[in-house]
Structure formats: C-alpha cells, structure tokens
C-alpha cells in the first residue's frame, strides 16, 4: 500500500483511507493508493463492498496544491482515471464524507456508487476561485444529484454548503448521525448485494425550461463575472450537462478546463493564491520560530487610523485599549468606531450580540498606566518624528518587558523610531492601509534590529486579524508608497504634457484599477501628498515633480473632504465632475512651463503609470526591501486596487514580456523627463536573459 492510503477489511467491507495531511489532497501518492486499494478489494473474494474515506481533518480538500506546476500533477493515474476505475468497479464503492469534501474530493465522491456523510461537512466545488472549473466530471455529475440551479450556484460561486443541506438529494444516500465509519460500514452491508450499481452519470436531468433559465443565468453571471472568464465557462458546462450526453458533456468540460488553465486571468488568480502563502514565509525566520503571546493590545492615537486598527483587534476577539491625549479626541475616535459597527449591524453583517461584544472589547484611556500590560502596542499618532519620539520614549518607559512596540508610520524611518527605545529588538512597523478595518494589506516593516520572534509574531498576528501581511525593509515609503510615488509623478507629467485628470483616470480604470490616480487623490486627501512633497522639496531641492498637484492644493482643493479636488463634488455625492477651474489651471501651467500640449493615447497613459511601478519595484527587489516579486504583487492587489485578473504589476510585466516593457521604457526615455525611464538593473538583466520576475 502507498504511504498515502491505508487499507483494512472486516466482515466483507474494505475501507480505503486517504492519508495526506493536512486535507488529503489528491496528489499522485493518494491517487496511486486509491487504485491499489481498489484492486486489492476487487481481488479479495471475501470483500463485498468498499468504503473510501479520509483520515484527519478532511475527506479530501481536492487537488494537492504542493503538486501544482509539477509533473506529478498530471502523472497517471489521473483523477479521471481513479474516478473511472471506481465507477466501473463491480463491487459497490461508498464515499464516507466528513469535515471537508471539496473540488476533486467531491468529484471523487460523485464517482462512487453511493455517498454517506455526517452533518456539518463542508461541500464545495471551489475551482472557480482560481479561475478554473471542476475538471473531473463535477460540472456534469453535481447537477444530476442536486438539480441544475443549486449546482450552478455552487459551481459558479465556489462557496461551501454544509452537508445536511443535501439531506433530501441524491448527493447523499444517508446522513449518518453517529460515528461515520461504523455507519458507512453498516450502510455498505445493507446495499452490498444490490445490482445494478447506481452511477451518477446514468441519472437523467429533467429540466423543461432550461433554455430560458440559462439565458437568465448568463445575464446575471456575466454581469458579476466581468473580467473573469471562468464563471461563464462553468455555466456553459452545467448547461452542457442538460443538453449533451454524459460523455460529450465530460469532453466539453475537459476542453473548457484546458482553455481556462492557460488564461491570464486564471494564472493571475493562482498567482495571488500562492502569493498570499509565499508572503508569510521569511527565509531567515523559520516557521518554527517561537512567537510571543498576544492576548491584549493597545493603540496610541484614536484618529483616522487608530480607530480602524483597534477594530481589527476587537474583530479577532482581542481586547484593546486606545490611548489619546485629550478626552475630546478619544470620544470622537471611539464614536467613529461605534458608528462603523452600527453601520455593519444595520446592513445585517453584525448581530446585536456581536456588536456588543466588539464594542465591549475596545476601551479608551488618557493614561499610559492603562496600557502598560498590553502584549502589543501600535502607535498611530501624527506623522511627525518629534511626536513619535515622545511616544516611543514613553512606551519604552512604561510597557512591560517583552511587549511589541509597533508604529503605523507610513513614511518615517522605523530604525530611527526603534532607536528612541532601549529595546529596538521589540520595535517593528505595522503599516495599515486606510480604512484600516477594511483594507486587507498590512506591510510589516522589519527594522535593522527587529527580533525574529517579533517579526514572526507580527506575521502570525496579521493572519489572526485576517490581513495579508507582507514584509518590507526600511526605506522611504516602504514597498507600496515608494512605488506609488513614481506612478503619481508620471500622472503629474501626463497632465503637463496634454492630459486632463478625467482622461488619465478613465484610462487607468479601463485597465482595471479600482480608481485612477486623481480620484484616489481626492478620496485620500490631496493635502497628505502635499505635506510629504514639501518635506521632500526641502530634503531634495532638485526633486522633479509636476507642480500641478501643489497648485491644486494652493487653490484649497484638498479633495472630497473640502467638496473640491481634481474634480468638483456635489454635497453628499461622491461622484466626480470634471472641473473647468482645474482644467484651466492645468492648461495654463503647461503654457507657463513652455510645454506644448499634445494628444496622448490611453496606451501611453497606462504604460507610463504601470511601468513606473514595475521599474521602482525592480529596485526594491534588488535592494532586498521586498523579499520576492509576488510580495510586490500582493501589496498592489490588496492595498492599491490593482486589477486582480492581471495578478499585480510584476505578473503583468511578465505577461507583457519584460523585453517589451524595456522597449517601451526606452521610447519614453527619449521624451520629456526621460531621466525617469532608465530601466533598473534587475529589470534590464531579466529582460536581456528572456526571464520573468515571478
């Protein structure tokens, strides 16, 4: 027997148990073990029926992700072959389902003659979430056992449904209330002699009005799926289950699967899936690095960020105390938090119980004495080194030994902040994104002296509060904002050379960004960038940057909060309206600096903005600020609204081809402000070698 399956037989029933922790992924070893077990059971005359199940925490979670992109993935026996062998077996095969039956795991169960399950098992075909479809008969068999509409919902959404919901369907022949295996064996004995053996493939689908239904579904799914082809392909496969013979439907399903696997959208989704996992790995901080216990937290500053950060802890069940200097600021901050939770409750996303529980976990204080015992404290006060210095000196004085001292700074030097304390090993940057209770990204900034256990604890915490933690080294702007500076710089140049804000935003939004740079500026507040630029103009007098954004701020147009920014806003309406005042200012500015405005196409706009990100990221990678290209992609997918179906700036550049990216940059280098288009050495090298970032 393979080490991935075990075999036992007792009283005429053989039990084959998959054993491939953590979720019995259907890797090569499991597939081989299933075939061997089946053969053994079929050869053994004393065996009358065969139960297939999984050990540990799952029946089976589907494909073994460890095998993705390896030859083992497609090595025979394939999942198709295993299912065919089970389905054509001359003795009844019963799937005994518990905990999780997903993807290939569910398809395997559907290939068995019978299925029994315990209540509470999670049943799903989640392939669509990776831009794929269930390719081992799932789209053809599931509609035959639970009906077309429920099957379509499951396959198009990929969401799990608890097993008891299928009590009266052909998916499960019996729901077992007691222990699964004895129940499955008893069931097997009961049906052992029944012939012919039932096969899901033989079930007829009777759906008289299917054409009207599928037409309706096409409209709905098409509207939701937008740039992703997989949901529609899932739908067409389910339609094929109704209109085609089983064999033809399976063939059609395979063809659609083969098509989807090579789409950039599926590649992007798989990249993001693996990128999320990769981001949590730090080469010199092994997974068994001891972590510190986080049972309580504190936040200093109850402003825009502090309140949202506190909510993250409360949502994870960790009590948190928020410290402010003045009662008024504290009251205001806590009132905002309460309001956010009330809104969630009104929208039905939070029960009244949970509301009370979460609000109850957040306390306010004006004294450090109330936070000194917290396991972690996150500072979110004004972005001024002097204020940070005061706060960190105080934290160093009062916090218990071993507490993690984190800063939410977005631009300041975390090493300098750490040096304000006598325990720099306990200091780390936790850069949340606004709104901090919503945005998935958390840049975890590793200072020169940050302890490995502090880093490991903070990464584990980011998972606990449901963030995508990405490690960044210390530099101005860390990964995300350092890159966005180059993007914003190009956006400003585009205005000077001939674009208006609306044209730039539209081009970038058509590319797939959630928001173009100028709408984004109006949302975040143009004054924030203005303050940063003023600091930089002082630090680097030769900095080249379009003055348009400064002129805008000088007009008092800070964005939505002042009712006017790059666009005009009507009261209570966030929709942007082009502003003739701003557009005149831009055109006049071009004239003032002697630039003849020209017509600029969408392709140039997108290339200049996106390649500016890519080139800066190449420097960031070379300097070791980011650990890997997929980390950069995760930052942009989870924090900056980069289109998921393109997989992030680095995967996008890989898809375009790095030599094409470099050629475009060489072209722009001949234009105005061409000095910004020198390819980073890493980019130039990879392009010359025909390689990719990812």
Ligand X SMILES: NC(=O)c1ccc[n+]([C@@H]2O[C@H](COP(=O)([O-])OP(=O)(O)OC[C@H]3O[C@@H](n4cnc5c(N)ncnc54)[C@H](O)[C@@H]3O)[C@@H](O)[C@H]2O)c1
Residues with a known catalytic role: 107, 127
Beta carbons of 383 and 412 less than 8 angstroms apart: yes
- Cα–Cα distance, 537 to 556 (Å, whole number): 20
Question: Positive or negative, the Cα torsion across 150, 155, 160, 166?
Answer: positive
Q: Which is nearer to ligand X, 153 or 434 (CB)?
A: 434
Q: Which is nearer to ligand X, 324 or 426 (CB)?
A: 324
CB of 560 to ligand X, least distance (A): 13
Reduce the DSSP state of residue 268 to 3 states and report it.
helix
Q: Which is nearer to ligand X, 63 or 391 (CB)?
A: 391
Q: Which is nearer to ligand X, 122 or 450 (CB)?
A: 450
Beta carbons of 73 and 90 less than 8 angstroms apart: no
Beta carbons of 301 and 324 less than 8 angstroms apart: yes
CB of 631 to ligand X, least distance (A): 18
Torsion of CA 419, 421, 427, 429, to 10 degrees: -60
Beta carbons of 246 and 140 less than 8 angstroms apart: yes
Q: Note the Cα 258 to chain centre separation in Å.
A: 24
Beta carbons of 18 and 57 less than 8 angstroms apart: no
Residues that bind ligand X (CB under 6 A): 300-306, 323-325, 329, 333, 380-383, 387, 390-391, 408-410, 431-434
Q: Which is nearer to ligand X, 532 or 656 (CB)?
A: 532
Quickly list DSSP for 632-666. HHHHHHHHS---GGGTSHHHHHHHH-HHHHHHHHH
CB of 403 to ligand X, least distance (A): 17
CB of 482 to ligand X, least distance (A): 14
Query: Position of tokens 């203005």?
Result: 530
Query: Position of tokens 């790095």?
Result: 658
Q: Which is nearer to ligand X, 305 or 320 (CB)?
A: 305
CB of 566 to ligand X, least distance (A): 18
Question: Positive or negative, the Cα torsion across 420, 426, 432, 437?
Answer: negative
Beta carbons of 429 and 450 less than 8 angstroms apart: no
CB neighbour class for 119 (10 Å; exposed up to 12, middle 13-18, buried from 19): middle
CB of 239 to ligand X, least distance (A): 46
Quickly list DSSP for 394-427. HHHHHSPTT-EEEE--SSS-HHHHHHTSS-GGGE
Beta carbons of 632 and 279 less than 8 angstroms apart: no
Quickly list DSSP for 440-467. -EEEEE--TT--HHHHHHHHHHHHHTT-
Residue least distant from ligand X (Cβ): 303
Beta carbons of 108 and 26 less than 8 angstroms apart: yes
Q: Which is nearer to ligand X, 17 or 408 (CB)?
A: 408
CA distances from 472 to 306, 448, 497, 614, 680 (A): 21, 11, 34, 16, 19
CB of 409 to ligand X, least distance (A): 4
Q: Which is nearer to ligand X, 379 or 497 (CB)?
A: 379
CB of 514 to ligand X, least distance (A): 16
- Cα–Cα distance, 269 to 651 (Å, whole number): 11
Q: Which is nearer to ligand X, 324 or 502 (CB)?
A: 324
Rounded to 5 degrees, what are φ and ψ at 128?
A: -60, -25
Q: Which is nearer to ligand X, 99 or 430 (CB)?
A: 430
CB of 435 to ligand X, least distance (A): 8
Nearest one of 63, 249, 62, 225 to 139, comparing CA atoms: 249
């Amino acid at each position: 027997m393979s080490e991935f399956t075990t075999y036992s037989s007792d009283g005429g029933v053989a039990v084959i148990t998959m054993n491939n922790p953590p979720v019995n992924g259907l890797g090569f070893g499991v597939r081989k073990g299933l075939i061997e077990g089946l053969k053994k059971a079929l050869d053994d005359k004393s065996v009358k029926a065969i139960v297939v199940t999984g050990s540990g925490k799952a029946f089976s979670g589907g494909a073994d992700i460890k095998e993705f992109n390896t030859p083992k993935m497609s090595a025979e026996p394939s999942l198709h072959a295993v299912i065919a062998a089970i389905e054509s077996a001359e003795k009844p095969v019963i799937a005994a389902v518990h905990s999780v039956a997903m993807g290939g795991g569910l398809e395997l169960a559907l290939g068995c003659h019978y299925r029994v399950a315990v209540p509470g098992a999670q049943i799903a075909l989640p392939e669509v979430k990776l831009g794929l479809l269930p390719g081992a008969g799932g789209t053809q068999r599931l509609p035959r056992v639970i009906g077309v509409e429920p099957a379509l919902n499951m396959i198009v959404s990929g969401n799990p449904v608890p097993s008891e919901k299928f009590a009266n369907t052909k998916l499960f022949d019996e729901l077992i209330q007691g222990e699964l295996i004895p129940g499955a064996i008893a069931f097997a004995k009961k049906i052992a002699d029944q012939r012919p053996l039932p096969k899901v493939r033989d079930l007829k689908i009777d759906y008289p009005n299917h054409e009207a239904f599928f037409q309706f579904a096409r409209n709905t799914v098409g509207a939701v799926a937008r740039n992703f082809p997989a949901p529609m392909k899932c739908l067409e496969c389910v339609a094929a289950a109704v209109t085609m013979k089983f064999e033809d439907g399976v063939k059609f399903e395979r063809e659609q699967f083969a098509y989807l696997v090579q789409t950039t959208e599926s590649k992007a989704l798989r990249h993001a899936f693996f990128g999320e996992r990769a981001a949590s790995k730090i080469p010199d901080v092994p997974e068994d690095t001891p972590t510190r216990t986080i049972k309580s937290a504190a936040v200093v500053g109850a402003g825009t960020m502090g309140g949202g950060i506190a909510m993250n802890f409360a949502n994870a069940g960790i009590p948190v105390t928020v410290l402010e200097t003045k009662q008024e600021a504290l009251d205001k901050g806590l009132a905002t938090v309460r309001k956010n939770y009330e809104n969630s409750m009104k929208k039905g996303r939070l029960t009244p119980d949970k509301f009370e529980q979460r609000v109850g976990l957040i306390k306010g204080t004006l004294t450090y004495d109330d936070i000194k015992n917290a396991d972690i404290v996150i500072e979110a006060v004004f972005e001024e080194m002097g204020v940070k210095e005061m706060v960190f000196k105080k934290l160093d004085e009062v916090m218990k030994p071993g507490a993690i001292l984190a800063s939410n700074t977005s631009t300041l030097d975390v090493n300098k902040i750490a040096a304000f304390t006598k325990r720099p090993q306990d200091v780390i940057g936790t850069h949340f994104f606004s709104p901090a209770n919503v945005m998935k990204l958390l840049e975890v900034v590793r200072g020169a002296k940050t302890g490995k256990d502090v880093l490991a604890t903070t990464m584990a915490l980011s998972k606990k509060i449901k963030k995508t933690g990405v490690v960044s080294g210390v530099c101005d702007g860390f990964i995300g904002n350092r890159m966005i500076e180059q993007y914003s710089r190009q956006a400003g140049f585009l205005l000077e050379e001939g674009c208006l804000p609306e044209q730039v935003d539209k081009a970038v939004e058509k590319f797939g960004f959630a928001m173009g740079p100028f709408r984004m500026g109006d949302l975040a507040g143009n004054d924030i960038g203005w303050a940063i630029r003023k600091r930089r103009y002082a630090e680097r007098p030769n900095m080249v940057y379009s003055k348009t954004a400064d002129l805008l701020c000088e007009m008092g147009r800070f964005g939505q909060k002042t009712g006017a920014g790059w666009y005009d806003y009507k009261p209570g309406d966030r929709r942007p309206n082009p502003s003739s005042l701003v557009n005149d200012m831009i055109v006049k500015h071009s004239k003032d600096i002697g630039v003849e405005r020209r017509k600029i196409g969408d392709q140039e706009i997108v290339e200049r903005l996106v390649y500016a990100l890519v080139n800066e990221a190449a420097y960031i990678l070379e300097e070791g600020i980011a650990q890997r290209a997929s980390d950069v992609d995760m930052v942009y997918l989870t924090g900056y609204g980069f289109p998921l179906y393109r997989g992030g700036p680095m995967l996008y550049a890989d898809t375009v081809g790095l030599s094409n990216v470099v050629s475009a940059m060489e072209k722009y280098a001949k234009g105005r402000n061409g000095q910004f288009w020198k390819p980073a050495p890493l980019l130039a090298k990879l392009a010359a070698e025909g390689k990719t970032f990812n």
